[in-house]
Amino acid sequence: MEILSPAGSFEALRAAVNHGADAVYVGGARFSARKNAQNFTDEELLEALDFCHVRGVKVYVCCNTLMKESELSDAMAFIRYLYTIGVDALIIQDLGLLTRVRRELPEMPVHASTQMTVANSQGVNLLADLGVKRVVLAREVTGKELSEICKHTKTELEYFVHGALCISYSGQCLMSSILGGRSGNRGGCAQPCRLPYTLLKDGKAITEKQALLCPKDLCLADRVQELKAMGVASLKIEGRMKSPEYVGMVTDVYKRAATVGVTDEEIQDMLKFFSRGGSCYGYFDSCKYGDMMDPVGQNKIAQELPVLEQKKKQVPVYLFLKAFVGEPLELSMTTEDGVSVTVLGEVCEAAHTRATEGKRMREQLAKLGETPFAAKKIEIASSENVAVSVKALNGLRRQAAEELEAFIVKSFRRTEAPVVSGDGQKTEHSHELSLCVEVANEEQLRAAVAMGIRRIYMPEQLRSLVDLVPEPVLQMPPLSKEGRNVSAEGFEQVCVQNLGQFSFAKGKEITAGHRLNITNSMTAEKLAEMGVGRCVVSPELNLKGIVALRWRTEMTLEVIGYGRLPLMLLENCIIKSNGACKGETGCENGVFALQDRKDEIFPLVATKCGNVVYNTKPIYMADRVEELRQAGIDSIRLSFTLEDYETCCNVIREYQAALAGENAIAPDGNFTRGHFYRGMQ
């Protein structure tokens, strides 16, 4: 089992390696989901690789942000550099970037980032079919679900075991992006979840203003053996923003937990130096709701981090010296893996007075302290009367160590692959802009039908009303966890929201929902190969980005042109965590929302003991329909969540009139343009 440690700086990388990490994950200057970490320049990445590889440690580089159309070629140029210098694997979120890497660099191992929101074996196996070697599962996957996923896939699985927890599913959080323009999908998250909120029920406060969205830190150090028994390939420690002392200390504990074991006292010693509101098992034993939360929302460090024990990881080597009179001094240095070098020195002479003892020669050969190596065994074959100087032995030892290190480093280099043009050709696209509607309840569905809407996205619970809709589309839930299958029976069309749902949509006409984070044409084209006929582009794209995507794909493109965007997808029900749930039907007995420090109200909708946090204001683009038409959009989706019958009818009427060429007037103040004119940074 691999212990995978974070390294936001070279000092943290050294600490991880020297304290037992089997692999480290790092970010470069661009395309990393931790923009604010120190990260590595190209030259530092090369140095880091050499440092790790010679010590038997793997290096994974994060290219785990969503890619704009204009960035794909630059990202591939960076990845080509990583390929040639010998990076062990890439960690990728963007499906389009994954597609290009597999096409242009088929020998490059790829790990699917937790930002891909994979929570079931169907998603794991689909990614394996796409060429992914390892999947980093969503943090919300429970131990029971993890065990089942392990049984149903042969693909390597990586699981978070320590560090900060996000309250929202990774890859499904738009809160920082929409509120402040700093996208979590682009590595710029401003962490609005750590700020204070008040929980409202029917407009009245039922909690104090506190950090309702702030979980405690994760710690599974005493559950490592369970994970090992399941067959999990890699245990991931969060913390690319953390200090070298923290990284070294936590790595040491988890390495020992995976090998010789650790005591509860040793775990508590680790936690007292840094934990947010104490620690918890996260979702491992299923969601514990309030027990997982830290309402005070502050980093708690009981005392200063300890001075790290000075450890130095060295690779065991075998040394074999030949010292025969009249022959060159010869030293072989061999690793446990059988990598070997042999160097020659000066011709040996007979001793004039006293021969050099074997013990003396061993003492000099063992002095490898300044190298990455440590002598495990030294053998000597020599003439009885040979004389070997200390200078000659030291020189030979240094030369052997240098050549062995150089040989190991070189063995990881790859030959530069031929460049494949990946930009494609601009496409001509003729289209007629249409209108479709997404509904959450029967009242909204009946309003859409009454207004003549043909294409209606409807959730499973409205299945009995399917005959009322001319063109019904099953809107699948935001994601499907292990064992929670979704039946598309009775529908010819489905809107898939997650990679783990494609297997449930076989034989259907498929729309790829916005939660699949479609930001470039390579993603759209890969989805087309997977049977998708229509894509809902990411709400983080602006009009310029949509135009760039449109130029390079013939895919039918849809945008959310009206509605409250879902900002967070929570497995942990904030209502239940704060004691406001009265059982299975508790959420039906009130209207809940979060109020922030600026008194903005964020509707909170329950989803079977989870929550979706919606934006304070709906997107409104009826008065800008012509700009959407000019961007090459095929369809505008009106997404209804909290609207009543009359509001739905009025909104539909305004967009229908706008599509017919009438001038629409935006409502006063209480709306947003989303990212149409701003876009993700």
Tell me the pLDDT band of 410, cut-offs 50, 70 and 90: very high
Residues 6+ apart with CB under 8 A from 405: 54, 371, 372, 373
> Residue range 193-218: average pLDDT?
94
- What separation in angstroms does the CA of 564 have from each of 81, 215, 581, 603? 42, 25, 24, 9
| pLDDT surpasses 80 at 420 | no
350 backbone dihedrals φ, ψ, rounded to 5°: -75, 145
> Beta strand pairing status for 58-63 and 89-92?
parallel
pTM above 0.85, yes or no: yes
CA 218, chain centre distance (Å) = 16
Tokens of 157: 């699985």
| pLDDT surpasses 90 at 254 | yes
Tell me the pLDDT band of 424, cut-offs 50, 70 and 90: low
Instruction: Give the per-residue pLDDT at 308.
Output: 72
Give the helix, strand, coil percentages of the chain, each rounded to 5: 35, 25, 45
Residues 6+ apart with CB under 8 A from 129: none
Instruction: Give the per-residue pLDDT at 197.
Output: 96
Instruction: Give the per-residue pLDDT at 201.
Output: 94
> Beta strand pairing status for 23-27 and 2-6?
parallel
Of 155-164, 182-191, 293-302, 442-451, where does mean pLDDT reach its minimum? 293-302
> Residue range 524-543: average pLDDT?
97
For the beta carbon of residue 144, count every other beta carbon within 10 angstroms. Answer: 13
Q: Do 43 and 29 meet the contact criterion of CB atoms below 8 Å apart?
A: no
| pLDDT surpasses 90 at 417 | no
Instruction: Give the per-residue pLDDT at 533.
Output: 97
211 backbone dihedrals φ, ψ, rounded to 5°: -80, 75
d(CA 435, CA 636): 5
Q: Do 323 and 347 meet the contact criterion of CB atoms below 8 Å apart?
A: no
Instruction: Give the per-residue pLDDT at 246.
Output: 92
Tell me the pLDDT band of 435, cut-offs 50, 70 and 90: very high
Instruction: Give the per-residue pLDDT at 596.
Output: 96
Instruction: Give the per-residue pLDDT at 277.
Output: 73
d(CA 462, CA 494): 14
Q: pLDDT tens digits, residue range 293-309?
A: 988 765 555 556 667 77
Tell me the pLDDT band of 63, cut-offs 50, 70 and 90: very high
d(CA 3, CA 234): 6
| pLDDT surpasses 70 at 440 | yes
Q: Do 560 and 619 meet the contact criterion of CB atoms below 8 Å apart?
A: yes
The amino acid sitting at 48 is A
Tokens of 172: 């499904």
Q: pLDDT tens digits, residue range 34-62?
A: 666 667 999 999 999 999 999 999 999 99
Question: Could you give all domains of the chain from N- to C-terminal order, each with its CATH number?
Answer: 2-165+215-292 (3.20.20.380), 315-411 (no CATH), 434-659 (3.20.20.70)
> Beta strand pairing status for 110-112 and 134-136?
parallel
Tell me the pLDDT band of 127, cut-offs 50, 70 and 90: very high
Beta bridge partners of 328: 347
Instruction: Give the per-residue pLDDT at 311.
Output: 87
| pLDDT surpasses 70 at 589 | yes
Tell me the pLDDT band of 580, cut-offs 50, 70 and 90: confident
The HSE-up count of residue 253 (CA atoms within 13 Å, CB side) is 24
The HSE-up count of residue 216 (CA atoms within 13 Å, CB side) is 21
> Residue range 554-569: average pLDDT?
97
Helix (H, G, I), strand (E, B) or coil at 186: helix
> Residue range 118-135: average pLDDT?
98
Angle in degrees, CA 267, 272, 276, rounded to 5: 105
Q: pLDDT tens digits, residue range 461-494?
A: 999 999 999 999 999 999 999 998 888 999 999 9
Tell me the pLDDT band of 587, cut-offs 50, 70 and 90: low
Radius of gyration from C-alpha coordinates of the chain: 29
> Residue range 400-411: average pLDDT?
97
Q: pLDDT tens digits, residue range 261-291?
A: 999 999 998 988 877 777 999 999 999 888 9
Average of per-residue pLDDT values in the chain: 93
Question: What percentage of the chain reaches a pLDDT higher than 90?
Answer: 82
Instruction: Give the per-residue pLDDT at 272.
Output: 83
DSSP H helices in 425-514: 442-450
For the beta carbon of residue 587, count every other beta carbon within 10 angstroms. Answer: 22
Tell me the pLDDT band of 310, cut-offs 50, 70 and 90: confident
Instruction: Give the per-residue pLDDT at 579.
Output: 83
> Beta strand pairing status for 373-382 and 349-350?
unpaired
